[in-house]
Structure 1
Amino acid sequence: MVRDIDGARPMASITIESAAIRLTDTILGYNEQDLEETLKAIAADIGMAHIAYMRFAPDKSSDASLLTGARTYSVQWQTRYFLKQYILIDPVLAHGSKAVLPFDWEELPRDDPAIQAFFTDAVNHGVGCNGISVPVRNRRGAYSVVSFTSNHSRPEWVVFKKNNMVKLQLISVLIDSAASVNLKLSSPTVKLSKREEQCLIWAARGKTYQDISDILNISFGSVKSYLDTARHKLNCANLTHAVGVAIATGVIPAKALQGSSFK
């Protein structure tokens, strides 16, 4: 039987009872724990490095067509992901937005040097050496993708997938249902003022408050006020989170991050 890297437990097959209980409790309102914390517990239960959930916005015309999500990746990686604008090239999301069947990340094209660098950066930040994503379409027509990552050797990973694919699909459906409750995904679209949007776009480009003040020719205090207001509108705990949510939801268009300057 295939064992975990540290040899502590068999990895050929998993049980999903505890995961199902955690997620069902969330769906029924018995568990008010943050979804990311629940996903961390499930990842530990089934021997995964990380679990990530993302739901796509109904409007697929936007380059950044993600609505919202939850993930167990480190804060360092999530911050780097947003500041490096990886959402624009992430092949998992690009393929996941159209996929019908589960797909292994190994199957994704990596001819583009930028995509190769993205995967290398992800591994270096603890995302995991292996990954598989499961598309989920619920009864209301919402479309999402759940990703599971692992640091097992490739042979171990192949065996793990063979023995657990159906279980991972069941967990993915439950995660999608739990997310609808926990993340309150039906919230209305956020509308930012022109200045709030401008400040947030420059922040997404990695500019400091003082940089934005100089670029837009407004006071430092005004920049802080606009960014704080935008953050509150997006219901985010910090600026990095607000930038990520704004890009993911299309509140600030992805193409705006590629321009040279604007005022």
Structure 2
Amino acid sequence: MGNLIQCNTINMVIDKINNSKSNTHLNQCLHDITDILDCNYYLFAIISKKSMIKSDILIFDNYPKNWRNHYDKTNLIKHDPVVDYCFSNHSPIHWNELEKKEHKLNKPNVIQEAQTSGLHSGFSFPIHSINGSFGVISFAHSSKEKNVNHAFHTACIHIPTIIPILLDSFHRINKNNTNKDLTKREKECLAWACEGKSSWEISKILGCAERTVTFHLANSQTKLDTTNRCQSVSKAILTGAIDPMY
């Protein structure tokens, strides 16, 4: 009976995620999921590439403020084993497993520092999304005495189902308007520019004047907020303005 109640509750949260109209609504859904798992804290983060050297990071969380301030101020993201693990893996990870790994000397022990700030135990699920973006959804408990193994087991059943739905709603709410602003012809010109074609060659392929191709590429540059064709091609791919399968 308990499992049935839990599944019904999860389904209600999934409906709320699907019907979310804002990031505030998604934040509340994450609160609900955390309560269902009998945890205290959550963090949902997505890192999206905007250029080869710039990324956008969007974070929803209720982590202790002192920990977040310390984490950001000391740039612990560079040493965080959770981030490192999630970047190159797909399976969920219990923080105990990361803690067991040999720690490098003269490097911050992020897991240990998190424990001193109230995140005593937890687990994380890697997220790999469209256009090369990646992220993590983590849950943690504040009590030293609390065993999160049961919560981890429950999360492994439900979170893999919730993640794609959460991502779809997240991208729907935070959709980059640049993608829909590009016209079909502008996307075609950029796609052929990706193949190294000159404006003259693109004009022959598309059956239009060379000045028309130049016009479309210039419009794309304005919409993508770039300064040249090379940057336009790079940003169009990274942000999903054009699809490699286009």
TM-score, structure 1 normalization: 0.53
* Counterpart residue type for residue 97 of structure 1: F
Report if aligned partners of 2:76, 2:108 keep a CA contact under 8 Å in 1: no
- Alignment match, 1:86: 76
Question: Does residue 173 in structure 1 map to residue 139 in structure 2?
Answer: no
Contact 2:126–2:135, Cα closer than 8 Å, also in 1:
yes
Q: 1:21 aligns with which of 12, 15, 40?
A: 12
CA deviation after TM superposition for structure 1 residue 38, in Å = 3.2
Larger RCO (CA under 8 A, 6+ residues apart): 1
Q: CA deviation at 1:82?
A: 0.5
Over residues 153-192 of structure 1, what are the superposed CA-to-partner deviations in whole Å (9 max), with x where a residue is unaligned? 789433443344121222333333333244x16377xxxx
Give, in whole Å, the separation in 2 of the partners of 1:42 and 1:21.
10
Q: Deviations over 1:12-35 (max 9, x none)?
A: 998254454345334334566353
Give the CA deviation at 1:52: 1.0
The amino acid that maps onto 1:119 is I
Aligned-CA RMSD value: 3.6
Cα distance in 2, alignment partners of residues 65 and 114 from structure 1: 27
After TM superposition, give the deviation of residue 116 of structure 1 in Å.
Answer: 6.0
Residue 24 of structure 2: SS of its match in structure 1? coil
Q: Is the 8 A contact 1:20 1:171 kept in 2?
A: no
For the 8 Å contact 2:43–2:62, the answer to whether it is kept is yes
Contact 2:127 2:137 in 1 (8 A): yes
- Tell me if the contact between 1:14 and 1:46 (Cα under 8 Å) persists in the aligned partners: no
Query: Identity percentage over the alignment?
Result: 15
Does the 8 Å CA contact 1:16/1:46 hold for their aligned counterparts?
no
Which residue pairs with 1:112 in the alignment?
A: 104
Q: Counterpart of 2:160 in 1: which secondary structure? A: helix
Amino acid at match of 1:76: N
Q: TM-score, normalised by structure 2?
A: 0.56
Task: Write 1 or 2 for the structure with the bigger share of helix.
Answer: 2
The one-letter code matched in structure 1 to 2:85 is: H
Please give the secondary structure, in 2, of the residue aligned with 1:35.
helix
SS at match of 2:125: strand
Ranges in structure 1 where 5+ consecutive residues have no aligned partner: 1-9, 189-263
Structure 1 CA distance for aligned equivalents of residues 51 and 8 of structure 2: 35
Aligned to 2:46: 55
* Ranges in structure 2 where 5+ consecutive residues have no aligned partner: 179-246
Give the match for residue 186 of structure 1: 176
Displacement after TM superposition at 1:58 (Å): 3.9
1:43 to 26, 34, 44: 34
Which residue type is aligned with residue 103 of structure 1?
A: I
> Taking structure 1 as reference, are residues 85 and 25 closer, same or farther at Cα in structure 2, changes over 3 Å only?
same
Give the superposition deviation at 1:44.
1.9
Whole-angstrom CA distance in 1 between matches of 2:133 and 2:21: 24
Q: Is the 8 A contact 1:51 1:148 kept in 2?
A: yes
SS at match of 1:81: helix
**Which one-letter code corresponds to 1:166 in the other structure?**
I
Assess if the C-alpha contact under 8 Å between 1:52 and 1:147 holds in 2: yes
CA 164–45 in structure 1, closer or farther in 2 if over 3 Å, else same: closer
Q: Is contact 1:133–1:147 with CA below 8 Å preserved after alignment?
A: yes
Deviation, 1:148, is 1.6
- On the 8 A contact 1:56/1:66 being kept in 2, the answer is yes
Question: Equivalents in 2 of 1:14, 1:59: separation in Å?
Answer: 42
Residue correspondences, number: 175
Q: How far apart in 2 are the matches of 1:154 and 1:170?
A: 29
Residues 117-175 of structure 1: CA deviation (Å, up to 9, x unaligned): 32222112222x22221123346664332112235678943344334412122233333
Quick one: which of 70, 77, 85 aligns to 2:67? Answer: 77
Return the alpha-carbon distance in structure 2 between the equivalents of residues 162 and 41 of structure 1: 17
